[in-house]
Amino acid sequence: MGIEDLRRDYQRPALDPNSLDPSPFRQFSTWFEDVHSADLPDWFEVNAMTLATADERGFVTARIVLLKGYSEAGFMFFTNYDSAKGQQLLENPRASLVFYWPHVERQIRVNGSVTKTEAATSDKYFHARPRGSQLGAVASAQSQPLADRQSLEQQAAELDQRYADQEIPRPDYWGGYLLEPDSLEFWQGRNNRLHDRFSYDLEAGGKWKITRLAP
Ligand SMILES: Cc1cc2nc3c(=O)[nH]c(=O)nc-3n(C[C@H](O)[C@H](O)[C@H](O)COP(=O)(O)O)c2cc1C
């Protein structure tokens, strides 16, 4: 079968506007927890999301990162501040997130402004990670050219020795970002491509306006 013949008809029940929560954060939580609490294969990462960023010229790149927390304050992820995405966020602090959960035929899109999390938040998460992940984060000049794998492993091994029996300090170049949304969209696959889409847009005064969008 050729790629052009690959298609699925989505069969899920309607996303009823009356069932939508007035708060996009609670709506996100309902959908996220639905998937999170389900009995799914180990390889499935419910918190994996696409993060799209753009530089000052408007050139866009996207990659997967892991959501590490969400609240009314925003959506949090951790990375290397000197990475390509970090550089782009410095030039242009707008970003988009996309979640796609195929087994429930749902997509969530989130657009907003990004700021660095407080140092204390980054410290707490950094030190909660396994030691190997901490070493990996410190050893890797993320997004920079690397001569070979050996030099990366050697760097991690040297750090391991240097901090033997000690806490590894979080480097300044690694930490969290918080995306504070001003629009979100909830998409539910339906049959015959007549999907349900609802957009939440932040209005002056802090109220969220909900609009049905054509699929
Ligand atoms: C499932 C998955 C989860 C990932 N999680 C993260 C993450 O939380 N933080 C991160 O910096 N990179 C993560 N990555 C790696 C990024 O996709 C990307 O390769 C890296 O951040 C460098 O991106 P950049 O060069 O655009 O900055 C993950 C990749 C995958 C496939």
| Burial group, residue 186, by CB count within 10 angstroms (0-12, 13-18, 19+) | buried
CB 157 near ligand 1, within 6 Å: no
State residue 12's pLDDT score. 86
Does ligand 1 come within 6 angstroms of the Cβ of 83? yes
205-208: which pairs have CB atoms within 8 A and are 24 or more residues apart? 208/22, 208/23, 208/24
How close is the Cα of 66 to the center of ligand 1, in Å? Answer: 8
Over residues 4-14, mean pLDDT = 89
Residue 13 has what pLDDT? Answer: 86
The catalytic position among 26, 131, 162, 193 is 193
- Ligand 1 contact, 48 CB (< 6 A): yes
Please state which of the four CATH numbers 2.40.40.20, 3.40.1260.10, 3.40.50.1470, 2.30.110.10 is assigned to the domain occupying 3-133+172-213. Answer: 2.30.110.10
The owner of tokens 């988009």 is: 96
Check residue 130 and give its pLDDT.
96
**pLDDT over threshold 90, residue 155:** yes
Q: How many CB atoms lie within 10 A of CB 66?
A: 14
How confident is the model at residue 8, as a pLDDT?
86
CA 64 to ligand 1 centroid distance, Å: 5
> Of all residues in the chain, what percent carry a pLDDT higher than 70?
100
User: Per-residue pLDDT tens for 195-210?
Assistant: 999 999 999 999 999 9
Beta strand residue intervals within the chain, DSSP E: 48-54, 60-66, 69-71, 74-80, 94-101, 106-116, 174-188, 196-202, 208-213
Residue 82 — pLDDT band, cuts 50, 70, 90? very high
Closest approach atom of ligand 1 to CA 80: 11
For the segment 24-77, what is each residue's pLDDT rounded down to a tens digit?
999 999 999 999 999 999 999 999 999 999 999 999 999 999 999 999 999 999
Q: What is the largest CA-CA distance in the chain?
A: 60
Q: How high is the mean pLDDT of the chain?
A: 96
How many A from CA of 65 to the centre of ligand 1? 5
Count of beta carbons in the 10 Å neighbourhood of residue 102: 11
Domain regions of the chain by residue span: 3-133+172-213
pLDDT at 11 over 90: no
Q: Is the CB of 77 under 6 A from ligand 1?
A: yes
pLDDT of residue 109: 98
- 162/168 Cα distance (integer angstroms): 9
Q: Model confidence at 184, in pLDDT bands (50, 70, 90)?
A: very high
